[in-house]
Structure 1
Amino acid sequence: MAAPSSSALRTLSLELKSLQEEPVEGFRVKLVNDDLCTWEVAIFGPPETLYQGGYFKAQMRFPQDYPYSPPSIRFLTKVWHPNVYENGDLCISILHPPVDDPQSGEMPCERWNPTQNVRTILLSVISLLNEPNTYSPANVDASVMYRRWKTSEGKDKEYKNIIRKQVAATKVEAEKDGVVVPTTLEAYCIKTQVKAQESAVDMTDFYDDDYDVDDDDDMSDNGEEYEDDDDSGNGES
């Protein structure tokens, strides 16, 4: 495998530094064995979705000519989802090369371009968790279950029960890693932190409005939204 270009390493170094200094809600990143081309990603399930409270780990691998070619993402945590293959590989338009492929049903503008970065990729992945693309699924069975759940307005609980069980299973890994997974919007959304060296400067007015969320969302973080449904669904992956 060809060594990464100096341009790729420089780009990845800057992106990592940016994410460490200004974290984004919903995920955390770190290097695997100090390798700039291999990142471990921890994705938190968004509140008010089936994935609320989930802790999903994945690995991102970057090509030697990044950002001109897209990285790949493979989930290390078991994820039952229409756009995740059995081996954990994620299928999402933003990570597909920008070629004209009419058979895919994707427009070139939906695919990878060098203006994308780790932030935009992972925010797209978080969005995909709650809103799968079922038109060209990687996991057909999950796609069928998801459609059944949506069209029955939640009455068919097989899909929901599988996700709920997988979310519960991730809590062990979160505890092992010493991570407290946010389960409310207030905890999920990160407020911009003023750097210590700037603390002597009165910049309160500038930062106060950054990433604010409404305080009137009185949400429970004890999972009461997901009542004890019949867990007899046999689609456990």
Structure 2
Amino acid sequence: MSNHSIIRITKELADIQKNSDLSLAVACRDVDVRNVKAIIIGPSDSPYEFGFFEFAVKFSKDYPGKAPTVTATTTNGGRCRFNPNIYAQGKVCLTWKGESGEEWSSAQGLESILISIQSLMSSNPYENEPGFETANDDGDKKNQRAYIAKIRHESLRITVIQRLEEYLGLSPSGVVIPQSSINSEDSDQDDDVVGELEESVNFEPFKDLCKRRLLWYFDSYLLAISKAKVEVKDGQPFTRMPFECSSNCMEGKFNYTELEKRLRVIKKALDDETRRWAMEGLVIKKREGTAAANLQRQFEQVVEAYKRDKNVTLTIELADNNPFVWEITYFGRPMTNLDGGLFRIKLCFSPRFPEEQPRAKFETRLFHHRIAPDGTPCYTVKRVEDAKSHIEAIIEALEEESPPYDPRTLVNPDAAKLFWGSPDDRKMYNRMLRRMVQRSVEE
């Protein structure tokens, strides 16, 4: 690969990684920029809503003169076709709207490719199939509804629940599965091949991202299940579409009762994992490990920084003198809806920080569109390795009063419905928030 290609790809990766877009993420192993993993978060108000769809992108030495090869890898082992243009075998059909019509243009890049794929994940993907774009008869409308229904079910089952169960080592029944090694059928392969397989299997750059997003969107998933249960019955088989065939389709049965149970087990497992971080942290501290020393140093620096900052009033302490668990008390800023409030936030750090980002939880109950009902705040941070940046981002999300509409940040469905509703709804939202703020000093 030429230096020009490598520089171009490296820059594109960096640009996407620096971008605050909550729908896209990319990663590559070490310096192997030719082989990239990408993940697309399913758009809201679509059957793909908040699903985790992964793709493998391979760049040739001719890039950007030649388009990269894109393969869908979230296909349930080649058994699920999530879209008329995203096949069960992984093929992704895209048209390049370059300067010469439907051709690839070197002016395009990785981000435009991912956005093009994301655009396929529409509210009515049935229309993506050639010949069905303007289907209007009753049969087609019935098929559209049936297609959307099964995509919604499988997006939740495969891309969210199944993925998180694999990350957490859970079986569908909730039993913890021991970490397995390479299958015995690979034992006859030479060491180099086995090593490559192990490296490929172990490269999971989006594991922490998906875990954090599940905590964000947990209640949105539950809401989607609740609505879907009204439309379909457990045990009802999926409808095969006219454009599906036995080797390239989406088959199965609805079972939202089971999906809800599995989703709750995952949520509990994530909460348990966060608690284990604290116990692991104490062990590392006792051994005088580097991770504990680094967090202790950051804690001392952050405490001193906020002592000098007259614009923010907060205190920070270590829970049980554990540098992996910070207890923050934030005082609401005057002349805002938070005025007079006292908010307790627990910030838990992983022993693998910053590879695993900290998990925050408001222990003070709040009715807020950016704070999930269990207290998990939705925030984005630019410097993931800097603890103070996380605190600043949490406060910024808490204090925002006139944000642009972004459904990816709305993690409390009831609060979001009021916040973005009618003027009367917004007044109700403000009243409920103020009521919680007043109670915060009484708890």
Tell me the TM-score range normalised by the shorter chain.
0.5 to 0.7
- Inter-partner Cα distance in structure 2 for 1:71 and 1:89: 13
Name the CA shift for 1:149/1:117 in 2 (closer, same or farther; >3 Å): farther
CA distance in 1, matches of 2:111, 2:53: 16
* 2:412 match: none
> Partner amino acid for 1:117?
G
Counterpart in the other structure of 1:161: 149
**Structure 2 Cα separation of the partners of residues 66 and 31 of structure 1:** 17
Matched residue, 2:402 = none
8 Å CA contact 1:70–1:112 kept in 2: the answer is yes
Q: Distance in 2 between matches of 1:112 and 1:57?
A: 22
User: 1:134 corresponds to which residue?
Assistant: 129
Give the equivalent residue in structure 1 for 2:13. Answer: 16
Higher normalized contact order (CA 8 Å, seq sep 6+, divided by chain length): 1
Pair 1:94-2:84 in alignment: no
Q: Partners of 2:49 and 2:227 in 1: how far apart?
A: 10
State the 1:80 CA deviation: 2.3
Aligned residues: 184
Tell me the percent identity.
21
Task: Please report the TM-score for the alignment, with normalisation by the length of structure 1.
Answer: 0.65
Structure 2 residue matching 1:30: 3-state secondary structure = strand
Distance 2:82 2:91 in 1: 12
The residue number in structure 2 matching 1:227 is 228
The answer to whether residue 178 in structure 2 is matched with residue 173 in structure 1 is no
Could you say which residue in structure 1 is the equivalent of 2:327? none
Is the partner of 2:22 in helix, strand or coil? coil
Q: Which residue of 2 aligns with 1:69?
A: 66
Question: Which whole-Å CA distance do the structure 2 matches of 1:126 and 1:151 have between them?
Answer: 27
Q: Which residue matches 1:31?
A: 28
Superposed CA offset, 1:21-46 (max 9, x none): 22433111100454101110111110
Letter in 2 for 1:170: T
Give me the whole-angstrom Cα distance separating, in 1, the residues matched to 2:139 and 2:105: 34
1:91 & 1:23 partners in 2: Cα distance? 27
Paired residues for 1:78-93 under 5 Å: 78=75, 79-93=81-95
**Alpha-carbon deviation of 1:75?**
0.6
Shift of residue 6, structure 1, vs aligned partner: 1.0
CA shift at 1:76, angstroms? 0.5
C-alpha RMSD of matched pairs (Å): 3.4
1:110 and 2:102 aligned: yes
Q: Once the 2 structures are TM-superposed, how far is the Cα of residue 134 of structure 1 from its aligned partner?
A: 1.9
Q: Gaps (5+ residues) in structure 2? A: 76-80, 168-206, 241-249, 252-443
How far does the alpha carbon of each residue in 1:172-225 deviate from its partner, in whole angstroms, 9 at most, with x for none?
3146223144799xx8xxxxxxxxxxxxxxxxxxxxxxxxxxxxxxx9563168
